[in-house]
Each structure stands twice: as structure tokens, then as C-alpha cells.
Structure 1
Amino acid sequence: MKRLPKVLGTALLISSVTIALVACSGGSRVRKPADLAPVSNQFDLQPVWSTSIGSSETFNFHPVVAGDAVYAASHRGNLAKINLNNGEKVWEASVPERLSIGPGSDGRTTVAVSTKGTVYAYDDTGKQIWKVSVGSEVLSEPVVAGGIVVVRALDNRFIGLDAQTGARKWTYQRQQSALSLRVGYGMLPINNEVIVTGFAGGRFGMIVIANGGLVWETPVSFPKGFSEIERLNDVTAKPSMEGDIICAVSYQGRVGCGQARTGNLLWFKDYSSYTGTSQSQELVFSANEKSYVTAFAVKDGTQVWENTQLTYRDVGESLAIGRVLLMGDAQGYIHAFSQSNGEMVARIRHDSSPISAAPIAVGGLILVQSQGGKIAAYSPK
């Protein structure tokens, strides 16, 4: 099963077991995954190719697409460039340390980060070109854009490195929180110019890739409750964007949407998620800790539907594509919902390991990577 996020304080580490119990609001109640109801597939996801990169173990690795290639990594240090069209590996590199996250790539420079906080960079032939230590654990996947590698360290530093040399270009330091989730905070790059990302304390903001400057910062939610754990409301998952509307959700807080240029929220609703949001033009989708999948109207936050068929199946990040919403679960199934009414319209088995990373839509294909290391391309029919 996919692990719930851990909590990290100045001198406090609380296990994911504790968080699971808090999230369930039921003390020692057992989280039994719902049985899968039969589904008559209204469309098929036909396999085009598959390959293996190696297990991510307890870490959350995402593949990344640049040009006509897929870049993927594993915890044991496997790093590969894969042909998008046929799944053949163009090159493979063996990083000399275990990896905690990665890769990031712009098609020219590909980077991954070790569990010791060392950033390893490779050129487009798979040759190592530099390595740099950032001096802290990194759980957020790096972004490579505009000639800069953006690395987000667990100690709340954002670091910009030159993509060709590894030289440090800038550092943006966030204030350290007394208590925050020990989890990767997703970064959404926009037009190779800025990233939008969440912060501890229920806030998210926009940062300039070239110099690390903060463009705007806005709260999605505010701490509430009596204990420090109850007051956790970090925006950990990658925000989503469609047109000029950007949406974000916090853990034990709220979901909301606003203007991408200013960050001003149009609305917000009480909600809790650590798997983030995905959007269509009219709807924003999210799943809470119980794996209830919900659709809200982008314009005003009205709840349009909720599907509880996957209760406690630990669903992963979602992808809104065409008329469906896709997401995996902890047993390796990919589920498809109708965006209009939340009806389950298709299901396939990818493998038997958790699918926590969002599927990727590119070139008419749907790419999926499981924590077991299987990467596959599917063609919707």
C-alpha cells in the first residue's frame, strides 16, 4: 500500500501509522479497502509497450516526458531514457547512490537526487556531466526548465542550479515550520518561466525559475484544531492548471481555485487531500484520504459529484483527459471515471504494485509507472 505522509517537526518524527489513524478519525479502526464492483468497460486502454525501470520502494517516483522520450528512475539508482513510441531504452545509467526522487529533464539535461541530497546530472547520451550536493534530503522531484535545475530541499530551501554546469544560481529560503509533513511537495512548471508549488501552513505560490523570486503567495487554508497534528494543513501535492485558472488542495484544510496570474482565490471549500488536483475547463477533481473521489465546479466550487466506490483503496494522483478521469490505486488497478457524473466507466490491471504517480497523456498515449517499476504506454480505444 502507498504510505501516507509522515510528519516532520523541528525535533519530532511521527510515523505514517499515526497519521493514518488520525486521518481515519476512528482511533484503531481498520482501513479495509473496498471490494471492486464489476465494471463493463465503455472503452479500452490497450497496451502499446511496457518496460521496467526498477522499484521505487517507499519513494514516489514520477516519469517525465521531454520531446519523444520518457525519462524514469528507480530507488536503486537506475536512470533511463525510453523511446516514447516503442518503449525501447535509448540509454541507461547507473547512479552510484540510492535515489530518493527523480528524474527531472528538459531532453538535454536529466537529473536525479540521491537519498544523501546529491544531485546527479546526465547529458542526452546518458553521460554524467556533474554532481552537486545540496546538503539536505530531497523528496520533491526536480524541475529542469529554462536552463535551470530547480531542487526543493526538505529544509524549505529552493535551489536553482545551472543545467549545464551545476553551479548554484540562486537560493530561496522559506521559514522552517514547527511541524510539517515529511513528503515531497510537487512543483508545477509553467512555460519554462515559473513554478507553482505548495508550502507548509496551507499556502501556495509562484516562483520565477530564472532567479528564485517569489511572484505571489496566497493561503488556501488555515490551521485549526487543538493539537499540532490536527493543525497540519500543508499544500503538499502539485497544483493543477487549465487555461488561466489554477487549483490547489491542502492536507486537512481546503481545496480552492483562483487566477494563475495573481493567485487570488475565486473560492475555497473545506477538504483534505495529499494527492492533489486535476482539472478540465469546467471541473476540478480530487480524492481525499478515504479515497472518495470528488468533482467541484471550477467557477464556484459547487460539488458536482462524489464517488465512494474506491474507499480506502489508497488512490494516487489523477489525470483529467478528454471526458474521463484516470487514477491508479494501491493494488495496481487503473480506474476511469466519467468526468460528467463520476460513473466508473473502465478499469484495467497495470500490475500488482501501488500506482501513486499521476498517469501522463502524451502523443495519443497514456503512460503509467507503478511503484514496482513497470512503465507502460496504453492507447485509449
Structure 2
Amino acid sequence: MRSATAFAAKATSFAGSRNAGKLVLKLAAVAALVSLSGCAWFSGKKDPNPPAPLVEFAQKLRVKTAWNVSVGKAGNFNFTPAYAAGSVFAAGADGSLVRINAQTGQTVWRVRNEIPLTAGVGTDGSTVVVVGEKGMIQAYDGAGKPTWKAQASSEVLSAPAVGEGLVVVRSIDNRVTAYDADSGARRWMVQRNVPSLTLRNAPGIVIGSQTAFVALPGGRLSALALNNGGPRWEVPVGDPRGTTELERISDVSGVPALGSRDICAVAYQGRIGCFDLLNGNVRWIKDFSSDVGVTLDDSNVYAADIGGVVTEFARDTGAVVWRNERLKNRQLSSPIATSRAVAVGDFEGYIHFLSREDGTFVARVSSDGSPIQAPPVNAGETVVFQTRSGSVVAIATE
């Protein structure tokens, strides 16, 4: 179970300065409710949902750390590494931004922003974008030279999406804004309704097929035309229900997983499903709750639920292929399929490799001991994780 303090830190409300007191009360209420539901350290009671102990197993897959680069701590934010043009790009809260050769681990360049960062990295290999305090957007070229700045309407917590000549950003006031990737000029802006209480888990954006697919608070997945921001379709992934605002939080989590014909997404206290790329028609959908997102490969969809159960679904039908329940309450990252296994990080910095066939453990490796919460990325022959302490770690399988 996530702690009351951590959960409160992940919840936020946007309603303007006149409601600042209401925000504080809401966050206090979230912490109190979560505490009453089981995390009762202050009373000295034993946690009824302790992290599952690590089980021993015969290691069937050889894994090794290919390289490890320090980029800077994440602080209270969630920094996602990005892979493009043969490089891994990563950032830290102190303003650090680094480009790493994905094959060798050599630092190609490193820059320091003038202000602390809150989100990043978004890149297509040519344009590299991070976001700083108060919504300041900073773009660089592929050589690390600053190219333009822009000001978002409010704080930005999710990595910008870069592609097809645009940089698309969602700020916490639920405005989705597109900027020209070369000049930073604003191309369009779409304002969405803001739920009264949301997770602070930065729902993401992915670009493809001349469309920006935007994960939104309130459990919506929206497809916006890249040329003007016009809506192509919108579907409910989450289904807010319950009598309290806390019970009704149902935000889409992580970055939607984009395929050639479909797109898959998951919501906290909501559902997981895959949808037709062109019209949003439901291919399949199931009850599920996750705050870390979903990934896919050619045949399957992978997700870790809020309790730490990792599940593989058949991509075409949504049928459960396997579940691994041996990582309960270990506060997992989103899982990712590699060439030979499914990898997932946890709150102690361990990276677990599960069999693609039945979900059993086949390997395990440790990083720096700090939580892994950012979604991992495949980078050529390795899978890359970024820890909360700022280690960018590439793991190779043999």
C-alpha cells in the first residue's frame, strides 16, 4: 500500500487561488482517508498490506547492467527517459538534461537548465523538450543547444510529446497546447474540464497518425487532430463512481500505448482496454486499476495494478494470459516487454524479469535502491529504467 503522505502528494486539485484553502483541506482529507484505510504508522499498528518479500528462484535468464549514468534526483516529480535516434535522453529536478549513447552509455552532452524541472523528456531525436517551474517550456536541438522557450498556462507534470513537427503539452489546468517544434510558436490550444480532485501522476500524450492521443484526468482518452487540435474521438477509460470525490478519482494513468491499428490505456479506479485508432471504437475493455500506465507488444498488453499484480492480456481479445501476484504492494513501475521477458521495477530499485509465457520469475537485478516509478523504455538491445535518485540504468539480457 502506498503511504498516506505519498498518496496525498500524488493528488492535486486545480481551481485557482481563491480555492487554495479548499485544496489544502482536500489533500489533508486524502491523507486521512488513506491512513484510516490501513497505513497506520502513527498509531504504531502493523501495516496490514506490507510489501511482498522477495522470493528465491532459479535464475533462468542472464541479465547485466550495460551502463549506468547519473542525471539528478527526481524530487517530487516523475521524470521519464526517452529513446530516439540511437540515444537515451533523461532529466532531473535540478535542471540537468543529458543525452546518452544507447549502445555504449557514453554521455554525448549534458546541459543544466536555469530553473528546476518538473517534467521531461520529450524528443524525436532532433527536438528535445523539458518543462521547468511554473510551466516554462525549454526546447533544445539534437546537439543540446537551446532553441526556444514558451510559457504554459500552469504547471506541467507530464513529459511533452514531440513528433510530426509539433510539441504537445498538457498542463495541470487541463489545457492541451501544441507548439511548432522549430520555432516554439503556439499552433493551437484546447481547454478541457478539470475534475475537482485528480491524481498527481501526470497522464501522458503520444503522437501518431497525424493525431495527438491525450490521457486525461476524469478517465478520458482523447484523440486530437494535429493540424488544429480538433477532436477526432474521445472514449471513457475510467468510469468515475462512488459517493466521495476520493472514490470518484478515475484518471487515465501513464502514457497511452500506441500500436499500428489500436491504442491501449488504463485508468486508476477504472478500466483497461484497447481502442480502434481511427474511430475510438472499443476492441475490449475490463475493470482494472493502475496508476502507472500500460505497455504493449505485437501480441499482448502488460499492466501492473494498484496492488502490484502484473497481468498480461491478449491484445486482440483482452483475455488474461497470466498474472503474477508475487510482487504485491511493491509499488511497481509499468511493465515492459523485452525480447526475452517482461521487466518491471519496484520501490526498492529492483528490476524483475518475468517469463513472457507464464509470468514466472526468470531474473532479477538491483539498481541504486531507490524507487523506480517512471515508465521504462526499450532502447535498442537494452531496457532503460530511471530511478528516483537519478540513476539511468540500461539492462541487457543475454
Decide: shared fold, TM above 0.5: yes
State the shift of 1:280 in Å.
3.2
Deviations 1:122-156 (A, max 9, x none): 22232222212113100010012122111111101
Q: Which amino acid aligns with 1:41?
A: Q
Deviations 1:180-227 (A, max 9, x none): 223311112225x32222222222121233322221101123221111
CA distance in 1, matches of 2:214, 2:281: 15
Q: 1:309 aligns with which of 326, 333, 343?
A: 326
Deviations 1:38-84 (A, max 9, x none): 13221122222221111112211011122122211110001112222
Aligned length: 380
CA distance in 1, matches of 2:316, 2:103: 38
CA distance in 1, matches of 2:144, 2:298: 39
Matched-pair contact (CA < 8 Å) for 1:146–1:210 = no
Closer, same or farther in 2 for the Cα pair 1:217/1:44, shift >3 Å? same
User: Does residue 1:135 correspond to 2:153, yes or no?
Assistant: yes
Q: Who is 1:104 aligned against?
A: 122
Q: 2:164 aligns with which of 146, 150, 155?
A: 146
Q: Who is 1:88 aligned against?
A: 106
State the shift of 1:351 in Å.
1.6
Q: 1:373 aligns with which of 390, 394, 398?
A: 390
CA distance in 2, matches of 1:16, 1:356: 23
CA distance in 1, matches of 2:307, 2:129: 34
**Under a length normalisation based on structure 1, what TM-score does the superposition of the two structures give?**
0.93
CA distance in 2, matches of 1:331, 1:360: 19
User: Does residue 1:261 correspond to 2:278, yes or no?
Assistant: yes
Q: Secondary structure at the match of 1:378?
A: strand
Matched-pair contact (CA < 8 Å) for 1:104–1:141 = yes
Q: Superposition pairs for residues 284-295 of structure 1, below 5 Å?
A: 284-295=301-312
Q: 1:160 aligns with which of 162, 178, 189?
A: 178
Q: Who is 1:225 aligned against?
A: 242
Closer, same or farther in 2 for the Cα pair 1:43/1:270, shift >3 Å? same
CA distance in 2, matches of 1:18, 1:137: 21
Matched-pair contact (CA < 8 Å) for 1:103–1:142 = yes
CA distance in 2, matches of 1:79, 1:379: 23
Q: Secondary structure at the match of 2:255?
A: coil
Q: Provide the alpha-carbon RMSD of the alignment.
A: 2.3
Matched-pair contact (CA < 8 Å) for 2:11–2:197 = no
Q: Who is 2:12 aligned against?
A: 7
Closer, same or farther in 2 for the Cα pair 1:295/1:362, shift >3 Å? same
CA distance in 2, matches of 1:231, 1:346: 38
Q: Which has the higher helix share?
A: 2
State the shift of 1:26 in Å.
4.2
CA distance in 2, matches of 1:39, 1:282: 27
Matched-pair contact (CA < 8 Å) for 1:105–1:111 = yes
CA distance in 2, matches of 1:371, 1:302: 34
CA distance in 1, matches of 2:150, 2:229: 18
Q: Which amino acid aligns with 1:54?
A: G
Deviations 1:146-167 (A, max 9, x none): 2211111110111111222211
Using the aligned pairs only, state the percent identity. 37
Q: 1:273 aligns with which of 273, 290, 313?
A: 290
Q: Who is 1:171 aligned against?
A: 189
CA distance in 1, matches of 2:237, 2:167: 27
Q: Who is 1:248 aligned against?
A: 265
Closer, same or farther in 2 for the Cα pair 1:361/1:83, shift >3 Å? same
State the shift of 1:103 in Å.
1.6
Unaligned runs of 5+ in 2: 41-45
Matched-pair contact (CA < 8 Å) for 2:14–2:194 = no
Q: Secondary structure at the match of 2:254?
A: coil
Matched-pair contact (CA < 8 Å) for 2:86–2:379 = no
User: Does residue 1:205 correspond to 2:217, yes or no?
Assistant: no
CA distance in 2, matches of 1:175, 1:344: 43
Q: Secondary structure at the match of 1:116?
A: helix
CA distance in 2, matches of 1:50, 1:287: 25
Matched-pair contact (CA < 8 Å) for 1:294–1:306 = yes
CA distance in 2, matches of 1:221, 1:314: 21
Q: Who is 2:43 aligned against?
A: none
Q: Who is 2:233 aligned against?
A: 216
Q: Who is 1:18 aligned against?
A: 30
Q: 2:65 aligns with which of 19, 37, 47?
A: 47
Q: Who is 1:37 aligned against?
A: 55
State the shift of 1:355 in Å.
1.0
Q: Who is 1:356 aligned against?
A: 373
CA distance in 1, matches of 2:246, 2:343: 31
CA distance in 2, matches of 1:145, 1:200: 23
Q: Who is 2:256 aligned against?
A: 239
State the shift of 1:22 in Å.
4.2
Matched-pair contact (CA < 8 Å) for 1:243–1:281 = no
Matched-pair contact (CA < 8 Å) for 2:307–2:331 = yes
Q: Who is 1:121 aligned against?
A: 139
State the shift of 1:348 in Å.
0.5
Q: Which amino acid aligns with 1:302?
A: A
